[in-house]
Amino acid sequence: MRSTCEKCAQAPARLITSTKNLGLLFGHKTFRAQALLCRECAIRQLTGDLIFTAILGWWSIVSLFANVAFIAGDMTELSAARKMETPGGALPAGGMS
């Protein structure tokens, strides 16, 4: 059974978990989302969350250290998303090594 993307209805799609971290003066707030996304939508979602975390995630002592884990997790998801098939079944440019 092939899954379709929740945002654009393209196939194939896989479950993506993305995390955003917002550093606050005395703590932090974490936003976690899971969705079935195709390659393009996953890359767009994860890139946006990485930019958000990279800019706004460092503004407390707790977040300073926690942010490294959030960025590493999203980078791992982004790497896996880039290896997914493109919608329509073609391999991404450069293929899989």
pLDDT at position 13 over 60: yes
**Please, which pLDDT band fits residue 93 given cuts at 50, 70 and 90?**
low
Looking at residue 57, the DSSP 8-state letter turns out to be S
How would you classify the pairing of strands 27-37 and 14-24? antiparallel
What confidence score (pLDDT) does residue 2 get?
Answer: 58
What confidence score (pLDDT) does residue 11 get?
Answer: 87
36-84 confidence digits (pLDDT tens):
999 999 999 999 999 999 999 988 888 888 899 999 999 999 999 999 9
| Nearest by Cα to 96 from 28, 54, 85, 77 | 85
pLDDT at position 91 over 60: no
Query: Average pLDDT of 24-30?
Result: 88
71-88 confidence digits (pLDDT tens):
999 999 999 999 999 876
Non-local CB neighbours of 32 within 8 Å, separated by 6+ positions: 17, 18, 19, 20
Domain-wise residue ranges, the chain: 14-82
